[in-house]
Structure 1
Amino acid sequence: MNSKVAELLVAQVNKEFYSAYLYLGISKYFQQNDLSGFASWYRAQAMEEQEHALKFYDYLLDNDQDVPLPAIEAVTAEYKTVLDAVKTADKHEHYITDEINKIYDAAVSAKDYRTQLFLNWFITEQEEEEKNSKDMISKVQLLGDKPKNLYLLDKELAARK
């Protein structure tokens, strides 16, 4: 495997685990603000991000690459509003998409076809992640921060498994 591609993949493991931390922080914010449905939704999102990190981790190991595990950056989970929290998630998803695109570009340059195929799944997944975060922003903006409206959305979000 090309060393630049391997380096970017290794860095992505940490970024995906950071994503899980970020979503746990968002979940904590919602739990502390009595929005358990939102909290549950973002906790499920955190679990999904851990799965993504492990996909990168396993791919690297399956391709005889070392996977150092540096510390994961701390998360600050302080938000002024529900909208701030969901916008943070959206911004982060766009960042992750950009990072995956950088890895894909490096794989193309290196003619690393196997990594390109591996990343196709993540490219499709990021399309879904960005749609989910955009939809969440739209719902929160539409309903506003009135307790009754948040209560209804909270109940909807609690249904995610």
Structure 2
Amino acid sequence: MPIRLPAIVVLAALALSVVALAGCPQSRDAFVESAREPAVRALPAYTGQSAHATAYGTHGGGTLDLPDDFPADIYLPADYRINSLMDRGALRVVSLQAPGQVSALFGDARASMDHRGWKQTMAMHDATDSALLSYEKGDRAAVLSFNDDRGGGVTINVQLREGVH
């Protein structure tokens, strides 16, 4: 049974996380402990973000908005709709949909993260229009994955982890 492309990107992100955790024993121990204990931080209410109309719908809108404390130095495309949010203590995952092409959004993300002081640790782009970027800044790590949704847009997953080192 062939593996679908998005599954490959998810597996690559998981492998990257395992490699990053293997290189830093404190991070690995913290990750294991966070999986054993209930989340210590709940998602803030989604009432603080004001939405405005864009060509794709509502910027940060739909039924979910970014939490008020979402880091301002993380790349987000100009137009997007949030599909899901997950907050698990030091790990935060945002899945969103944006119009455009993987190559263009990948390039925008790379330039934006570099400009905002993030250090790129890995970049991957394949011929079937999926891509992955990994960054570190201080004690934070960010992984951005891009997948063509075959409907004129891109699914972007942003994984943020605090307290990496």
Q: Which has the higher strand share?
A: 2
Give the greater-gyration-radius structure (CA).
1
TM-score for both structures, normalised by structure 2: 0.29
TM-score of the superposition, structure 1-length normalised?
Answer: 0.30
Greater share of helix residues, 1 or 2?
Answer: 1
Q: Which structure is higher in RCO with an 8 Å CA cutoff and minimum separation 6?
A: 1
